[in-house]
Copies of this chain bind each other. A is one copy, B any other.
Amino acid sequence: MVVSKQLQTASRLLAGDAFDSRCASRPIMDQVTTRWGTLIIAALITGPHRFSALHQRVGGISQKMLSQNLKALVRTGLVERTVEPAVPPQVTYSLTELGESLAEPLCALLGWFGANTAAMVAAQQRHDALAPR
């Protein structure tokens, strides 16, 4: 494979990092790559969203998980929370610069999933057919 060349170098950069269980990136990675983190970031790419807008957009998430994840993302500096004093209260979430820079590779990943999900589902079915029960 041609790609493996670049990939090997890329992975070596991480060898002493991400694979170490006591690495600082672990908890952060967990937070972002967790089920909802990815989708929330992705949802914010198109621009600022209000709480309820996100709630609808992400689909399937509970308010609890949404607010929880948002808080964590704000803390990590990926998302910015903006409160506009008004009645009723109006809160807007948007990506910080850091968050936008994350969105790039993240989008690539999501794009890959969009393109290859069908193949993977097929693989699963093939696999299940061979190993009944």
Q: How many residues from A make CB contacts under 8 Å with B?
A: 71
Name the distance in Å between A72's Cβ and chain B's nearest Cβ. Answer: 9
A24-B121, A30-B35, A127-B77 given; A114·B18 CB < 8 A:
yes
List A36-93 residues whose CB lies under 8 Å from chain B: 38-39, 42-43, 45-47, 57-60, 74-78
B100–A18 touching, CB < 8 Å? no
Q: Which residues of the partner chain B approach A45 to less than 8 Å between Cβ atoms?
A: 4, 7-8, 10-11
Which of A's residues lie within 8 Å of B, judged by CB? 1, 3-4, 7-8, 10-14, 17-21, 23-26, 28-30, 32-35, 38-39, 42-43, 45-47, 57-60, 74-78, 97-98, 100-114, 116-124, 126-128
